[in-house]
Amino acid sequence: MNRGGSPDVPPLFDDFARLDTLDELFQRSREYRGSRQYLETLHFIRKFTQYSPYNSFLIRMQRPDATFVATASKWRREHRRAVLPEARPLVVLVPFGPVHFVYDLADTVGDDSRIPQQALHPFAVRGQLDARVWDNTVAHADQQGIRVEFKPMEPGMAGFVRRTEQHEQGRFVVTLNANQSLEERYATLIHELAHVLCGHLGRLADEKGWDDRAHEPVVHREIEAESILYLVTERQGVYPRSEEYLADYVMQFGDMVPPISFTTVLTVAGDLERWGQNPPKGAGKAQRGAGDQMEQLFARQFWASGESEET
């Protein structure tokens, strides 16, 4: 315990100020890069929708058997449960603020009738995409200079992304199969947007928000995009087939997943999840300085709906 009476923060979390720490861990550890272990990690992250993908991974690192976590005050206020005195807190990071200490359901006692439904049914499938998620995502893409268009295609084709020509508006165009359902088009849109935001199509001098990673092998790029598709759609419970497809894709590489950037996967998955949750704010604001850009990047890592409200 520290002098203030709160649980001490593990040294690990000082390291996460360096955003490459997670990639170093991922690339060196069979615990995360093994094909089966990688799929299990994504499966775990899928169920903690109240936290960003990045924070969900931090929870897994500390307690792989966690089922549902909340702060002590949220357990008491919303679920009428008390945290056991001997419970070990888990640390999650909060943008522009102190860390939060959260506790797993197994470390609480109280009214079992108030156990969250998400804890009882973490993988519930809703099946249909909320139209607002689609509209918000397309609006965010448009704000980033990514135009979405539709064209009739053969049944086996889903869509593609390309850079615009000089005579066209915007920076990129995502073309989707007009013959597919909304959920199928959304899945393709997320996959293609992931390629853009991961930097797989490169970055021009005036483009912000992603690195130039066009040099990455095609295999790495596809695993990153498919992993992001899985996390975004599965955490919304709207496209269960993505799990099957991702498993088939990853397992073809044998025992070890290639050394992709897991930091990029978690960050972009969080970005695209946020895009669907709220419409974009007004464009045209002045560019922020480098320090503010670092603050924005930190916020992208650790934000998710409800996190800032937990006390």
pLDDT in tens, 219-276: 899 999 999 999 999 888 786 566 777 888 788 888 888 889 999 999 999 999 999 9
Say how many residues make up the chain: 311
Least confident of 30-34, 60-64, 154-158, 297-301: 297-301
- Whole-angstrom CA distances from 107 to 44, 65, 96, 122 are 19, 12, 28, 18
**pTM of the entire predicted model:** 0.82
2: pLDDT strictly greater than 70 = no
Nearest of 160, 162, 179 to residue 171 by alpha carbon:
162
Average pLDDT, the chain: 82
| Per-residue confidence (pLDDT) for residue 4, from 0 to 100 | 40
48: pLDDT strictly greater than 50 = yes
Measured distance CA(68)–CA(275) in Å, rounded: 24
| Per-residue confidence (pLDDT) for residue 246, from 0 to 100 | 81
Higher pLDDT, 305 or 219: 219
pLDDT tier, 289 (very low <50, low <70, confident <90, very high otherwise): very low
- The residue to which tokens 């550890």 are assigned: 29
Residues 6+ apart with CB under 8 A from 231: 42, 45, 46, 53, 265, 266, 269, 273
pLDDT in tens, 160-217: 999 999 888 889 999 999 999 999 899 999 999 999 999 999 999 888 888 999 999 9
